[in-house]
RNA sequence: GCCACUGUGGCGGAACUGGUAGACGCGGUGGAUUCAAAAUCCGCUUGGGGUAACUCAGUGUCGGUUCGAGUCCGACCAGUGGUACCA
């Protein structure tokens, strides 16, 4: 009578057992090396989704693999607990953000535990814990004292109806998500971190991050956007009393195109624009129109190019007698360069769009050598080429002309070489309740006053309501009113809270000692940090990871740590996607769909549904599969196995019910086999007497071990699963061979290795089956199987024989013949179809790549 | 718009630094078992042509480099992520 595979039963059993024995406790005892695996902690949105299942399974496999490979492993979990959804829930469901968040954390912790993840739960914390708030406030004050944080005015999205600040997400098509009112921009005092101070270092150090994906490094480099350009003063033609300036300073990265300039454009919030607007209603109107675009870069860039002619003209600095008109333009940003540009329509797409709109001249000054036509109408030529129509610059190439113009301008003392960054300082304050309060007191007399360390933490008041729109801290007079620590007069607390990216910028350093009074416990931190491997979604490639890199540098400056980079290794995984289903009444959840062949129908009414392509699982499209329903139905091991099976971790994964079913069937098959097979006691010493035939089988087993190990080491978990399955297929087929003592040992060796390699992926079933072949100790304590290299060496090698690069035949050679070109060639030429082909036509050339391929060119 | 990535059978994907395209799985299909079905097991499964040995084509599209390209280069098309207040 076969024991049925009831996943739930064994999973709960082992989860209890492991918890009881505290097997995942991170300790740095004994002489093993330490290894810190960290996955990006989740926002407690309510319940775990498939994206969580994926990233935490990936990290868990690594953590378990490292434990088997002889490391002490730190593998913690916590909660990115502040953020907007809690406030939205408060507004919609009248539940306090703290209560909502705690409920979600409790629920999600239970769910994560059901997945059998190997966390040391003793290290858990949430960013909304009073102790974490206190530590973060201490760090902030140190940053402030070290000139890494400052307060200034900056734009924010303003909803004029709701009278509140909106996040970019809450602005939909330029309108407020609740009020529907056209969103405006407003300048408000906000807190900034001086990330630009490290701009050079943040780019240059990318080269040292060897275990970071190149993709992320390139994105960060472009995001920081270092450019070596030129600042030039353009003299204003006539003194204009309204503006308090004689020049307009312009920044350019293309000084070589200066002869192609046909206009100057300044930002709507440029000082000159503002001065002119004071007495010009029309310009005022234009500027306020520009201010309605919103704050997102995407919106600004996509907006139709518009300009306002100021009627001011400036002299061209190199071309005698030439004047350029000055426009206020909606695509020029005050925050980049000098807030003013010279427009070269022929060689910049935005300038060209602008020129076409306003009928400005287009003068070609760089010759596109790949294109015969010199005319430019709709597409600007932005590449390098030969300079033409440019006086002294004619005939130079782009880079010669660039340095020539820079020298000219510098010699004339009307400009300077200048390095600029696209990156701007990090605006780290929010006008919201559910976040870590900025520990500052604003005093009419003393200005900005830090809250004294002894008065920390500044905690959020609990008695707030969310029926009023806006930031409840602003209305909370009791909480706001304090005495100034300096002069003891009445003062107000800063009512802004930190961007949640601040919370997530240093949490990794907190896990080694989460209860320490010090923000970062040096003794514990030094044993583990920085994390050896960080795992998370590619969507965090820039903001979270760049902010963390800055923050770590700040922590170094303020003496909390002594290293620059927060994460030694970084791996970014793809998203979990699913097909979408749409019926007459909108999107339909996969669980309500019934399939007949290729077609989908609504379960309740049999209405046919339209099947859409696979997209990121999202609430709006309802293409969500609840991980818990999968764990209930199949078990955590099946869910974990499927997560790793098909897609490579860095790519998007398509959720498929069939795939999950397949994984479950597979585990059931393995389960059945272990319960039917009678394993012998290990006696591996007799393996040395194995026959060549038996060694061939061992060789295949060890090849699988080698491939699995290589795949895990390089994060190719899907390939690892494939090699593991290959190994089990091989071992299952051995059942049909006549048994003998040596073969039994080979099979036992194979299955032992198999289970150990399977255990990081599906730990529960692996532990349960391990009992059947080795009743002594837990599989979690086993050593990763070692590859017998001697065995692999004896393998025969198969070589491809090609004619004109196309495969025609193969030959087999011995390992010792690997360098014998002549032998390989003669073996190839002796093959029937090669012989007949080469007698018909004489080979022109024979290329022999020893041990790999022979190509005969006819 | 800009930056980055991805594109291989019916589907997910494999192929180490350019060297046998399709490993491993899903689905499909044929068979075994069964009174029947489910489950399970075994075979086949890129497309075209051929009774067959075999042969031609084939890795988003077009072009290039090379003895040889899924892999390198150029242009294009499509999808995805980010775009600074979603996390």
pLDDT for res A558? 97
pLDDT for res A374? 64
Among candidates A834, A835, A810, A813, which has minimal Cα distance to A822?
A813
Q: Separation of CA A593 and C1' B10 in angstroms?
A: 21
The helix/strand/coil state of A235 is: strand
Query: Given CA atoms A59, A61, A64, A70 in this order, what sign does their dihedral have?
Result: negative
> Closest nucleotide (CA of A435 to C1')?
B85
From residues 774-833 of A, list those within 7 angstroms of strand B by Cβ: 798, 800, 802, 804-808, 810, 833
CA distance readout (Å), A413 to A8, A229, A231, A316, A689: 78, 16, 11, 15, 88
Q: Which residues contact A434 (CB under 8 A, 6 or more apart)?
A: A82, A83, A84, A86, A87, A90, A97, A101, A128, A460, A497
Q: Separation of CA A128 and C1' B13 in angstroms?
A: 42
From residues 95-114 of A, list those within 7 angstroms of strand B by Cβ: none
pLDDT for res A535? 96
Q: Separation of CA A80 and C1' B25 in angstroms?
A: 36
Helix ranges restricted to H, A481-626: 500-503, 522-528, 543-557
pLDDT at residue A372 is higher than 60: no
pLDDT at residue A169 is higher than 60: yes
Report the nearest residue to nucleotide B39, CA vs C1'.
A665
A39 forms beta bridges with: A535
Of A159-168, A200-209, A537-546, the poorest mean pLDDT is in A159-168
From residues 450-509 of A, list those within 7 angstroms of strand B by Cβ: 499-501, 504
Q: Separation of CA A652 and C1' B23 in angstroms?
A: 21
pLDDT top residue among A320 and A569: A569
Cβ pair A232, A413 in contact under 8 A: no
A837 touches strand B (CB under 7 A): no
Helices and strands in chain A: count of H runs, count of E runs: 27, 35
A156 touches strand B (CB under 7 A): yes
A44 touches strand B (CB under 7 A): no
Q: Separation of CA A371 and C1' B75 in angstroms?
A: 13
Mean pLDDT of A567-584: 86
Cα A834 to chain centroid distance, Å, stands at 52
pLDDT at residue A65 is higher than 60: yes
pLDDT tens sequence across A346-370: 888 888 888 888 889 889 898 876 6
pLDDT top residue among A624 and A39: A39
pLDDT at residue A406 is higher than 60: yes
A167 touches strand B (CB under 7 A): yes
A586 forms beta bridges with: A583
CA distance readout (Å), A367 to A255, A372, A381, A717: 15, 9, 9, 50
pLDDT at residue A477 is higher than 80: yes
Q: Separation of CA A486 and C1' B44 in angstroms?
A: 86
> What is the rounded CA–CA span in Å between residue A726 and residue A599?
33
> Closest nucleotide (CA of A799 to C1')?
B20
Nucleotides of B under 7 A from a protein CB: 1-6, 11-16, 19-21, 23-27, 39-42, 54-56, 67-69, 80-87
pLDDT tens sequence across A119-168: 999 999 999 999 999 999 999 999 999 999 999 999 899 998 888 899 99
Q: Separation of CA A662 and C1' B41 in angstroms?
A: 16
CA distance readout (Å), A785 to A49, A429, A745, A760: 34, 51, 15, 13
Cβ pair A701, A750 in contact under 8 A: yes
State chain A's mean pLDDT as an integer.
90
Q: Separation of CA A74 and C1' B8 in angstroms?
A: 39
pLDDT top residue among A713 and A294: A713
Q: pLDDT exceeding 70 applies to what percent of chain A? A: 98
> Closest nucleotide (CA of A809 to C1')?
B20
End-to-end CA distance of chain A: 65
pLDDT for res A834? 84
Confidence of residue A657 (pLDDT cuts 50, 70, 90): confident
pLDDT for res A430? 95
> What is the rounded CA–CA span in Å between residue A521 and residue A512?
8
Q: Identify the DSSP state of A604.
A: T
Among candidates A264, A263, A309, A311, which has minimal Cα distance to A286?
A309
> What is the rounded CA–CA span in Å between residue A822 and residue A828?
10
pLDDT tens sequence across A74-90: 999 999 999 999 999 99
Q: Which residues contact A502 (CB under 8 A, 6 or more apart)?
A: A136, A140, A428, A436, A547, A551
From residues 715-754 of A, list those within 7 angstroms of strand B by Cβ: 716, 718-719, 721-722, 725-726, 729, 732-733
A189 touches strand B (CB under 7 A): no
Q: pLDDT exceeding 90 applies to what percent of chain A? A: 59
> Closest nucleotide (CA of A856 to C1')?
B67
A406-426 burial: b if 16+ Cβ within 10 Å, else e: bebbeeeebbeebebbbbebb
A43 touches strand B (CB under 7 A): yes
pLDDT tens sequence across A411-445: 999 999 999 999 999 999 999 999 999 999 999 99
> What is the rounded CA–CA span in Å between residue A619 and residue A625?
10
Q: Separation of CA A590 and C1' B6 in angstroms?
A: 26
Cβ pair A732, A698 in contact under 8 A: no
Cβ pair A132, A510 in contact under 8 A: yes
From residues 509-548 of A, list those within 7 angstroms of strand B by Cβ: 538-544
Confidence of residue A461 (pLDDT cuts 50, 70, 90): very high
Kind and range of the H or E run holding A226: strand A226-235
Q: What backbone torsions phi and psi does residue A461 show, to the nearest 5 degrees?
A: -70, 140
A842 touches strand B (CB under 7 A): no
Q: Identify the DSSP state of A569.
A: B
Q: Separation of CA A279 and C1' B86 in angstroms?
A: 41
A353 touches strand B (CB under 7 A): no
Q: Which of A236-245, A480-489, A648-657 has the highest mean pLDDT?
A: A480-489
> What is the rounded CA–CA span in Å between residue A574 and residue A51?
9
Cα A260 to chain centroid distance, Å, stands at 40
Confidence of residue A682 (pLDDT cuts 50, 70, 90): confident
pLDDT for res A1? 46
Q: How many CB atoms lie within 10 A of CB A12?
A: 15
Of A598-607, A699-708, A819-828, the poorest mean pLDDT is in A598-607
A706 touches strand B (CB under 7 A): no
Confidence of residue A605 (pLDDT cuts 50, 70, 90): confident
Cβ pair A266, A248 in contact under 8 A: yes
CA distance readout (Å), A276 to A238, A281, A316, A340, A803: 14, 10, 22, 15, 77
Q: Separation of CA A490 and C1' B23 in angstroms?
A: 74
A772 touches strand B (CB under 7 A): no
Q: Which residues contact A234 (CB under 8 A, 6 or more apart)?
A: A247, A248, A249, A250, A264, A314, A315, A316, A317, A324, A342
Q: Separation of CA A649 and C1' B39 in angstroms?
A: 32
Helical packing angle, A97-114 and A84-93, nearest 10°: 120
Sheet with A323-329: list strands edge to edge: A307-315, A323-329, A263-266, A340-343
Among candidates A554, A551, A399, A497, which has minimal Cα distance to A165?
A497
A858 touches strand B (CB under 7 A): no
Cβ pair A749, A701 in contact under 8 A: yes
pLDDT at residue A14 is higher than 80: yes
Domains within chain A, CATH numbers bracketed? 146-209+427-500 (2.170.220), 226-421 (3.90.740.10), 576-668 (2.20.28.290), 677-792 (1.10.730.10), 796-857 (3.10.20.590)
The beta strand positions in A639-789, using DSSP E, are: 653-654
pLDDT at residue A843 is higher than 90: no
Report the nearest residue to nucleotide B53, CA vs C1'.
A833
Among candidates A831, A824, A826, which has minimal Cα distance to A853?
A824
A855 touches strand B (CB under 7 A): yes
């Amino acid at each position: 009578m076969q024991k049925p595979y009831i996943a739930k039963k064994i999973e709960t059993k082992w989860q209890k057992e492991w918890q009881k024995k505290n097997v995942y406790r991170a300790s740095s005892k004994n002489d093993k090396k330490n290894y810190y695996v960290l996955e990006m902690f989740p926002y407690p949105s309510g319940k775990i989704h498939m994206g969580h299942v994926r990233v935490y399974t990936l990290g868990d496999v690594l953590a378990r693999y490292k434990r088997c490979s002889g490391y002490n492993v730190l593998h913690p979990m916590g909660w990115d607990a502040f953020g907007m959804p809690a406030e939205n829930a408060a507004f919609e469901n009248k539940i306090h953000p703290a209560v909502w968040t705690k409920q979600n954390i409790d629920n999600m912790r239970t769910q994560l535990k059901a997945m059998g993840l190997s966390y040391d739960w003793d290290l858990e914390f949430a960013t909304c814990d009073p102790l974490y708030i206190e530590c973060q406030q201490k760090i902030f004050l140190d940053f402030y004292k070290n000139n890494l944080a400052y307060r200034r005015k900056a734009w924010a999205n303003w909803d004029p109806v709701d009278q509140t600040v909106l996040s970019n997400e809450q602005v939909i098509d330029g309108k407020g998500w609740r009020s529907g009112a056209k969103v405006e921009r407003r300048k408000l005092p906000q807190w900034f971190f001086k990330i630009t101070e490290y701009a050079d270092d943040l780019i240059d150090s990318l080269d040292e991050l060897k275990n970071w994906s190149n993709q992320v490094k390139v994105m960060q480099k472009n995001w920081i956007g270092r450019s070596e350009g030129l600042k030039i003063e353009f003299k204003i033609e006539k003194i204009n009393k309204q503006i308090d300036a004689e020049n307009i300073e312009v920044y350019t990265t293309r000084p070589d195109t200066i002869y192609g300039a046909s206009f100057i454009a300044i930002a709507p919030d440029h000082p000159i624009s503002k001065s002119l607007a004071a007495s010009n209603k029309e310009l005022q109107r234009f500027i306020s129109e520009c201010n309605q675009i919103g704050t997102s870069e995407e919106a600004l860039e996509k907006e139709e190019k518009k300009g306002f002619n100021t009627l001011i003209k400036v002299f061209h600095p190199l071309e005698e007698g030439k004047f350029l008109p000055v426009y206020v333009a909606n695509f020029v940003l005050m925050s980049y360069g000098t807030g003013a540009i010279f427009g070269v329509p022929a060689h910049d797409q935005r300038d060209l769009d602008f020129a076409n709109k306003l009928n400005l001249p287009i003068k070609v000054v760089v010759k596109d050598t790949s294109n015969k036509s010199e005319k430019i109408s709709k597409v600007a030529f932005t590449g390098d080429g030969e300079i033409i129509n440019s006086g002294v610059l004619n005939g130079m190439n782009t880079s010669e002309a660039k340095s020539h113009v820079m020298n000219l301008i510098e010699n004339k003392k009307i400009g300077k070489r200048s390095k600029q960054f696209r990156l701007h300082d990090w605006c780290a304050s929010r006008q919201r309740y559910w976040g870590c309060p900025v520990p500052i007191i604003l005093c009419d007399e003393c200005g900005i006053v830090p809250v004294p360390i002894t008065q920390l933490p500044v905690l959020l008041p609990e008695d707030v309501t969310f029926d009023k729109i806006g930031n409840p801290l602003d209305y909370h007079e009791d909480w706001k009113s304090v005495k100034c620590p300096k002069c003891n007069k009445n003062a107000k607390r800063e009512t802004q809270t930190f961007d949640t990216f601040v919370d997530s910028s240093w949490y990794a350093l907190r896990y080694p000692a989460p209860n320490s009074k010090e923000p970062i416990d040096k003794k514990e931190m030094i044993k583990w940090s920085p994390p050896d491997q960080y795992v998370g979604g590619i969507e965090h490639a820039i903001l979270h990871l760049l902010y963390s890199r800055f923050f770590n540098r700040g922590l170094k400056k303020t003496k909390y740590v002594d290293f620059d980079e927060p994460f030694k290794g970084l791996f970014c995984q793809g998203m979990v996607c699913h097909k979408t289903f749409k019926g007459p009444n909108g999107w339909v959840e996969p669980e309500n769909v019934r399939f007949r062949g290729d077609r989908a129908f609504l379960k309740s009414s049999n209405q046919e549904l339209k099947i859409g392509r696979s997209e990121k699982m999202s609430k709006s499209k309802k293409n969500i599969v609840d991980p818990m329903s999968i764990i209930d139905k199949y078990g955590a091991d099946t869910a974990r196995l499927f997560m790793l099976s098909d897609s490579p971790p860095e790519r998007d994964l398509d959720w498929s019910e069939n795939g999950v079913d397949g994984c479950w069937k597979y585990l059931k098959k393995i389960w059945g086999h272990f319960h039917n097979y009678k394993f012998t006691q290990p006696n591996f010493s007799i393996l040395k007497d194995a026959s060549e035939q038996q060694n061939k089988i061992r060789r295949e087993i060890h090849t699988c071990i080698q491939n699995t190990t290589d795949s895990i080491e390089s994060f190719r978990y899907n390939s690892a699963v494939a090699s593991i399955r290959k190994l089990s297929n091989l071992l299952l087929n051995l059942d049909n061979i006549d048994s003998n003592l040596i073969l039994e040992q080979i099979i036992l060796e194979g299955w032992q290795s198999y289970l150990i390699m399977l255990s990081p992926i599906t730990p529960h079933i692996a532990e349960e089956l391990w009992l059947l072949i080795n009743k002594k100790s837990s599989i979690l304590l086993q050593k990763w199987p070692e590859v017998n290299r001697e065995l692999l060496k004896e393998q025969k090698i198969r070589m491809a024989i090609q004619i004109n690069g196309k495969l025609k035949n193969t030959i087999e050679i011995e390992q010792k013949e690997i360098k014998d070109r002549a032998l390989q060639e003669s073996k190839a030429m002796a093959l029937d179809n090669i012989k007949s082909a080469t007698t018909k036509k004489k080979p022109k050339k024979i290329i022999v790549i020893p041990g790999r391929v022979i190509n005969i060119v006819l």
